[in-house]
Structure 1
């Protein structure tokens, strides 16, 4: 009976991390390499921020997730399994969100900020009126997040449309398929933009990887 209960509780966690990097059992999750240099997003996101954000903050989520899953595997009671859910959600969400976020960005000199013609751009214009309206709406809703969290452009499997969603803390986006995610935690911008969130949100569009977003949209809409 206990084995069935524990497996039932583990199932959501397994589904949530199905796309996370996997390695040996001793270290299931690893920090992904950035697809560009730490200084490649300047002047819009500083080298100092990128180093800290990637090598310190994301690494902390990876470490926390591995530790939580190790404890999860050794749990001997339902109570222990339940007690670990918060750590798995927080660190697992942080790992998933940041792994997406790095690919979400691209150096301006290499096409960051440029939206290719095609189905994705057409969908933005259909669902938001224009690309500029889309940016304004996502910036407005992301800036309004209380405390730490994320602003998302997601594809809704129900409505078959692109929609803006926000999540708190490191909660992953599960109601929609993520297309673009913007980290609004202070560690993502404070060293450069201080407490002026709108400046960070306006600047980040210069390094958004719209080619990656277009690919995600096309895959989601199939």
Structure 2
């Protein structure tokens, strides 16, 4: 995280906490899925951590929705509470790391599951990265950072830059503000926040959720002053988190349980391999998806069909947990937008549009991803697609090398995408961070490669380049060619 975002620093911090806690929650689920014989006590610890991370994520999301929909200036009370949430998040991760190290050392099930020690080490490393990046921010209160933003808001970026906190200033102060000075000892944990995981590891280090004790026993964590007394959160449904509801589901809409609550289950009957059918063999398609009506598409092949290049467990988790989460959250967001249109209340429009982009792009890209892979894949493209690739990239090998490097160099989680540009009337290779950031509009995706770590870590650990090399063996060029033949029919004025 960059240390200086001017007046947007609180929003950037809340975004980081939301993404960070979501990842830690998924990591807790992933470890339990990979080690089905995990000892009951360790299984319980990870389950409780999952709930703690879910509560913190929802708290950050509620504050984020509140902040980006409000036109008022930041007040010190609000900034102090965001500071506390950041400190609590760091505190949680530090203890999560300690407990994971304990599990890795003492769990026989982890030691006897081939990928588990590597997975635990990776999860520890990821949480440590978040701690090392964000803990430095706890030494500089947001109120102080926001005070330095005044020059920026008045149109004097040079003055703002000279007044801003510099990385070296903050790095030197890492750990200089003890958590004991930030959070009062002995305060009660809000009942809706969930109990902290209990084990011999935590008993020596205190509650990982203790910093959230700043809230009263009846209010959501970090409810703003003046709002807490009314028993409502900055985003009203946040208080329903204890029932595992959506933070922005419309009233009267039933909330599905969180995706992390279920282990991936293999279907009773494995799906049959589905080949790309010729256009003339397909029935007329007059169906549309209503708001909130998206469904998880079935895999067009069994979970184990892409072995040895992509392992069975990864396919189960990737499809049944990760992709399903995008579908569920996309539906909830669309229904929330329907409710907003019905009531005329668009206070949360920025947050909802953000969620619409993230989950919608995640759902659509994954749907393409499953279709452009096949156990009968591999080889090289032929026909019109091959000629277009050679025309636009010089040769197939040049295209493959550029695509592979683009995928390898995506920063964090994201995608490499081969697209057709109706405007340029040629193929291009793009990157996307997360699912929707740092990419282009007005193009049609043809071939997509998911390089989020959940797509490859169980088999390839941190060797993304090896995963990419294996992936080329399952690329199903007939499906990519079919998408290309349809896409190239669309042409815009060439500017």
Same fold (TM over 0.5): yes
CA drift at 1:163: 0.8
| 1:208 alignment counterpart | 475
* Correspondence 1:26-41 to 2 at 5 A: 27-41=292-306
Q: State the distance in 1 between where 2:441 and 2:304 align.
A: 31
Does the 8 A contact of 2:372 with 2:476 survive in 1? yes
Indicate which of 393, 402, 409 corresponds to 1:128: 393
**Greater mean deviation of Cα atoms: 85-94 or 48-57:** 85-94
CA drift at 1:114: 2.8
Indicate which of 144, 164, 175 corresponds to 2:442: 175
CA drift at 1:130: 1.6
Q: State the distance in 2 between where 1:128 and 1:135 align.
A: 9
Q: Whose RCO is larger (CA < 8 A, sep 6+)?
A: 1
Indicate which of 177, 186, 199 corresponds to 2:466: 199
* Correspondence 1:60-209 to 2 at 5 A: 60-75=325-340, 76=343, 77-107=345-375, 110=376, 112-171=377-436, 174-209=441-476
CA drift at 1:81: 2.4
| 1:8 alignment counterpart | none
Does the 8 A contact of 1:39 with 1:46 survive in 2? yes
Other structure's SS at 2:447 match: strand
Does the 8 A contact of 1:180 with 1:213 survive in 2? yes
CA drift at 1:173: 6.2
Does the 8 A contact of 1:21 with 1:30 survive in 2? no
Instruction: Please list every run of 5 or more consecutive structure 1 residues that lacks an aligned counterpart in the other structure.
Output: 1-19
Alignment of 1:50 with 2:318, yes or no, is no
Does the 8 A contact of 2:423 with 2:442 survive in 1? no
| Cα separation, partners in 2 of 1:163 and 1:116, compared to 1, 3 Å | closer
Q: State the distance in 2 between where 1:197 and 1:83 align.
A: 32
Does the 8 A contact of 2:408 with 2:464 survive in 1? yes
Please give the per-residue CA displacement for 1:121-174, whole angstroms capped at 9, x wherever unaligned. Answer: 111111112212111100111111111111011111122111111111011863
**Greater mean deviation of Cα atoms: 125-134 or 196-205:** 125-134
Q: State the distance in 2 between where 1:47 and 1:174 align.
A: 34
Q: State the distance in 1 between where 2:356 and 2:382 align.
A: 39
Q: State the distance in 1 between where 2:310 and 2:441 align.
A: 27
CA drift at 1:50: 0.4
Q: State the distance in 2 between where 1:80 and 1:162 align.
A: 37
Does the 8 A contact of 1:22 with 1:30 survive in 2? no
Does the 8 A contact of 1:179 with 1:213 survive in 2? yes
Other structure's SS at 1:159 match: coil
Please give the per-residue CA displacement for 1:78-119, whole angstroms capped at 9, x wherever unaligned. Answer: 222233111111111111110111101111xx2x01334311
Q: State the distance in 1 between where 2:395 and 2:412 align.
A: 29
Give the TM-score, by structure 2 length.
Answer: 0.39
| Cα separation, partners in 2 of 1:21 and 1:169, compared to 1, 3 Å | farther
Q: How many residues align?
A: 198
| 1:11 alignment counterpart | none
Does the 8 A contact of 1:150 with 1:168 survive in 2? yes
Give the TM-score, by structure 1 length.
Answer: 0.84
**Greater mean deviation of Cα atoms: 47-56 or 72-81:** 72-81
| 1:9 alignment counterpart | none
